[in-house]
Amino acid sequence: MADPFGFLKYERATPARRPVPLRLRDWNEVYEPFSEPETKVQAARCMDCGIPFCHQGCPLGNLIPEWNELVRTGRWDDASERLHATNNFPEFTGRLCPAPCEGACVLGIGDDPVAIKVVEQQIADRAIADGNALVPHPAAVSTGKKVAVVGSGPAGLAAAQQLARAGHEVVVFERDGRIGGLMRYGIPEFKMDRAVLDARLAQLAAEGVRFITHCAVGIDLSVTDLRRRFNAVVIATGSTVPRELQVQGRRFEGVELAMAYLVQANKVLEGSPPVAALDASGKHVVIIGGGDTGADCYGTALRQGAASVTQLDIHLQPPMTRHASTPWPVYPLLLRSSAAHEEGGRRVFGVNSTSFEGEAGRVTGLHLVEGKRVGSGFIPSAGTETHLQADLVLLALGFVGPERAGLLDDLGIDISDRGTINRDDDYMTNIPGVFVAGDAGRGQSLIVWAIAEGRSAAAGVDAYLSGGSSLPDPLVPTAVALR
C-alpha cells in the first residue's frame, strides 16, 4: 500500500534545467539528472487512489499507482516490468509526452499532481542503464506470416515490436535515410538525445524487425509488389500534410514550413547535409503557431544564433492555473512554457497574421492584428494592427492528414471527411489486410496515443493473420481524450 501521508509530507519537484548560457552552446538534453532518492519522494506522493483517474488520462492504460509504489519501496526492476507491460517506449514518452495522466491525477484536484512523467522517465532510464529494459524478447515460434509496416514513427515501431514478438516476420519501410520518423527528424536533440532512440531500435532489430530506409512505398516499391510480398500491411505514415496560411506574401522566400526547418536542422546534427539551407543564424525569426512544434523551432533558432525569436499564438494567453472551462480530470487549459521559452526571445498571444511583406522576392516582415479566437475564426480588434521585422518566418500551424499520392491512392484507401484514413474496430481499412495506426488514422495527436494505437493495431493484425490474438489492445479507434 502507498504511503498514506506522502502527498502531505512532500511537495512536487521535477528535474532542474541546465543553465541557459550553457545549454544554448550545445544540443544536449536540457534537464539535469534526478537522483534515486528524489524520485522515490515523488513516487511517494501518489495516493494509490481507489479509482485512479490517471489510468483514464493515459491512453496506454499505464499502471501508474503500481509502479509509483514499486519505486517508493526501491523495487526498480519490478517497476520497469509493470511500466513496459503497457508501454513499449517509456523513455520516449517520459521525455516527449505532455502527460495527460497528470492532468487527471486525483491529487491535482487540490494540490500539484504527482510528477508521473518524471518517475516514468527515471524508471525507464535506470532500467536501460542496468541493461534490463533493452534485453531482446524474440518470438519462440514463427507464424510464417509477413507484415509490412509503412512508417517508422512511434505508432509504426510499436506495432512492429508487438507483431515481431507475436512471431510474425516484420519489415518496416521508411522513406527517409534513417529510422525514427519525426522522433528522429522532427524532435530536437535537446528534447531527446538520438542515442535514446538508437538503443531501442537496436532492441527491435535483435527481435527480428527488419528496417528498410530510402523506400517510399507506392513510389520505390509498388503497391502491387507490397501486397504480393506481405500478408498484411500497417500504414503508420503519420499526418504530414501541413496546415497552410493563405495570406498575401505567403510565397516569399523565407516563409517556410516549420517541419522543413526542423528536419534540416536535425539532419545537419547527424552530418547529412553538413549545412542547412534553412538556418536562423543572424536572422529575425518569427514563428507562427503556439504549440510544441513552434517551441521546438524556438529553441532550435536560439541555438543557431538567431538575432531575435518571436513566437505568435492566435489564442489569448491562458491562465497560470487550470481554467474553469477544463475542470479536473480533463487536460487543463493553462499557460505552458517549454524549456526553450526561458532561453530568450518572446511570445505574443492573441494575434493573427494578415500579410507578409518583402523585397526582391524575400520576406522582410509581417503584419499582425490583435483579437480573439472564436471557434475556427478570429475577431480582430480595431486599431490594433502592428508590424514585425522578419528574415525567417516559420509556419507551425499543425497538420491536416496523411499524404495520399502514391500509397493511399494506389491502394484505394477510404478517407474520412477530416482527411484521415477510415478504419474499423480492429484498425483495418476498407482494404482487407491493410491496417492503419497513429496520426494517419487519428489525426494529429500525441506520442502516447500513437504508441497505444500501434499496440492495438498490432492486436488487430495478429487476429487477422492468426484467427485470434493475445496481444494487448488498449484502445478502440474512436477513443478520445478526456474532455
What are the grid coordinates assigned to 198, written together? 538508437
Judged against a pLDDT cut of 80, whether residue 176 lies above it is answered with yes
Neighbour count for residue 321 (Cβ, 10 Å): 9
Are residue 385 and residue 407 in the same domain, yes or no? no
What percent of the chain stands above pLDDT 70?
100
Assigned domain for 45 exists: yes
Q: What confidence tens digit (pLDDT) does each residue in 250-280 have?
A: 999 999 999 999 999 999 998 888 888 899 9
Are residue 204 and residue 282 in the same domain, yes or no? no
What are the grid coordinates assigned to 55, written together? 489510468
Are residue 80 and residue 194 in the same domain, yes or no? no
Judged against a pLDDT cut of 80, whether residue 2 lies above it is answered with no
Q: Is 22 exposed, middle or buried (0-12, 13-18, 19+ CB in 10 A)?
A: exposed
Average pLDDT of span 147-175: 98
Q: What confidence tens digit (pLDDT) does each residue in 134-160 have?
A: 999 999 999 999 999 999 999 999 999
- Please tell me the predicted confidence (pLDDT) of residue 1: 63
Q: Where residue 344 sits, what CATH number does that domain have? A: 3.50.50.60
Q: Name residue 446's amino acid.
A: L
Q: Where residue 93 sits, what CATH number does that domain have? A: 1.10.1060.10
- Please tell me the predicted confidence (pLDDT) of residue 4: 87
Assigned domain for 279 exists: yes
Establish how many alpha carbons lie within 13 A of residue 104's alpha carbon, considering only the half-sphere containing its beta carbon: 22
| CA–CA separation, 437 and 249 (whole Å) | 37
Assigned domain for 472 exists: no
Assigned domain for 41 exists: yes
What percent of the chain stands above pLDDT 90?
96
Judged against a pLDDT cut of 80, whether residue 171 lies above it is answered with yes
Q: Which of 362, 397, 432 is the last residue before a domain boundary?
A: 397
Are residue 21 and residue 156 in the same domain, yes or no? no
Strand partners, 147: 170, 232
Are residue 250 and residue 382 in the same domain, yes or no? yes
**DSSP tag of 381:** P
Assigned domain for 473 exists: no
| CA–CA separation, 200 and 237 (whole Å) | 20
Judged against a pLDDT cut of 90, whether residue 376 lies above it is answered with no
| CA–CA separation, 17 and 11 (whole Å) | 18
Owning domain of residue 177: 146-240+400-466
Q: What confidence tens digit (pLDDT) does each residue in 394-426 have?
A: 999 999 999 999 999 999 999 999 999 999 999
Are residue 261 and residue 366 in the same domain, yes or no? yes
Judged against a pLDDT cut of 80, whether residue 385 lies above it is answered with yes
Q: Which of 84, 104, 130 is the last residue before a domain boundary?
A: 130
Q: What is the dihedral of CA 448, 450, 456, 462, to 10 degrees?
A: -130
Q: Which of 397, 425, 441 is the last residue before a domain boundary?
A: 397
Helices (H), 270-396: 292-303
What are the grid coordinates assigned to 229, written together? 510480398
Assigned domain for 480 exists: no
Assigned domain for 475 exists: no
What are the grid coordinates assigned to 63, written together? 499502471
| CA–CA separation, 224 and 219 (whole Å) | 11
Kind of pairing between the strands at 241-242 and 399-401: antiparallel
| CA–CA separation, 44 and 400 (whole Å) | 41
Q: What confidence tens digit (pLDDT) does each residue in 285-343 have?
A: 999 999 999 999 999 999 999 999 999 999 999 999 999 999 999 999 999 999 999 99
- Please tell me the predicted confidence (pLDDT) of residue 435: 98
Are residue 85 and residue 151 in the same domain, yes or no? no
Are residue 55 and residue 195 in the same domain, yes or no? no
Are residue 104 and residue 213 in the same domain, yes or no? no
Are residue 430 and residue 457 in the same domain, yes or no? yes
- Please tell me the predicted confidence (pLDDT) of residue 275: 82
Angle at 297 between CA 394 and CA 440, to 5 degrees: 80
Give me the residue label for grid cell 541557459.
20
Q: What confidence tens digit (pLDDT) does each residue in 40-88 have?
A: 999 999 999 999 999 999 999 999 999 999 999 999 999 999 999 999 9
In the chain, how many domains are there?
3
| Phi, then psi, of 331 in degrees rounded to 5 | -65, 125
Assigned domain for 264 exists: yes
Give me the residue label for grid cell 478517407.
415
Are residue 309 and residue 378 in the same domain, yes or no? yes
Are residue 13 and residue 126 in the same domain, yes or no? yes
Q: What confidence tens digit (pLDDT) does each residue in 16-33 have?
A: 999 999 999 999 999 999
Average pLDDT of span 430-440: 98
Average pLDDT of span 462-480: 96
Q: What is the DSSP string of 74-127?
A: T-HHHHHHHHHTT-S-HHHHHHH---HHHHT-GGGGTSPPP-HHHHHHHHHHHH
The per-residue pLDDT of the chain, averaged, comes to 96
Average pLDDT of span 362-377: 95
